Amino acid sequence: MLLWNALNAGALYVSLGLVLPRRAATVARAIVFLDMLGSLQNVQSNALVAALIVFTFAAYERHHTALGSLAAITGAYIKVFPLAGVSFAIFHPRKLRVAIAIVLGLVLFALLPLLATSPARLLAQYASWRAIEATDALQRGFSVMDVFEQLFHTGLSNWPIQLAGVLILVAPVVVQVWRWHDWDLRRLYLCSVLVFCVIFNHQAESPTFAIAITGVAIWFAAIARPSRWEWALLAFVAIFTILASSDLMPRAIQRDFFDRYRFKTVPLIVLWIELQRRLWFPRVREAKPS
């Protein structure tokens, strides 16, 4: 357990340093610390999954096709949603090579259990997994779908909302091809993907939020001079998402408000909308003093 938690924490620590300068990476690590700690206390893989998504982005940025694809596939075989990290290949100059690496990697990982089990047992395992996922797909967890259902009571399935989320996620980078050279755009898209992987996940629970908070941490730490609005957004997330499941929040409020109404999802939804707005309309850079 100690080694597993060390792997999770260490991977996330290193990954943040790959996409942020040293001082900003320290800020990001401080922001994500409590959620990472909560995930580690549950001996879960969320910190590792968040790190793998960031590793995928960093590897593709450095044109390391095999390493980026390996990180994406590893994350996807732990939790399906990290497969969204493959979309970072949009910015990769050799997209066909990435596609081939992803397909080969998926096949290799699918067959890897044959080292320890028979083909018949492996097929039975996959059939069982598919049946479980079909049932789990009906859940809503701490997600946009649950918030939508609480507001409108439509009984709508998850997949139309998730599909709409995917389209909204990729639209700014697919449409604005001329901005692919912009490092700020690419890193901001990484933050958007990290938040997306939680708020559109029908099985999201409190420890899962470490993935989304990693996106929040990178977004805020990358800002040279945060405005009042940006500080307000961070405070909104910190109080109503990060601290919502901590011992600082009274149990009665956790049970009757945050758990009942899934309110800890709301600040992340607001932030994700803001991230999408900034992907479409970049922030005007302040002129550097001469």
Report the C-alpha gap between 47 and 37 in whole angstroms.
Answer: 9
Q: What is the mean pLDDT of residues 16-33?
A: 96
- Does pLDDT of 20 surpass 60? yes
Residue 259: exposure state from Cβ atoms within 10 A (0-12, 13-18, ≥19): middle
Instruction: Answer whether 0.85 is exceeded by the pTM.
Output: yes
The residue that leads in pLDDT, 97 or 259, is 97
What average pLDDT does the structure give for the chain? 90
pLDDT confidence of residue 151: 86
Enter the tokens of residue 210. 């470490």
| Size (the chain), residues | 290
Q: Tell me, what's the pLDDT at 95?
A: 87
Strands of the chain, DSSP E = none
Question: For the chain, which residues make up each domain, given as ranges?
Answer: 2-280
Q: Over the stretch 136-158, which tens digit does the pLDDT of each residue have?
A: 777 788 889 988 888 888 888 88
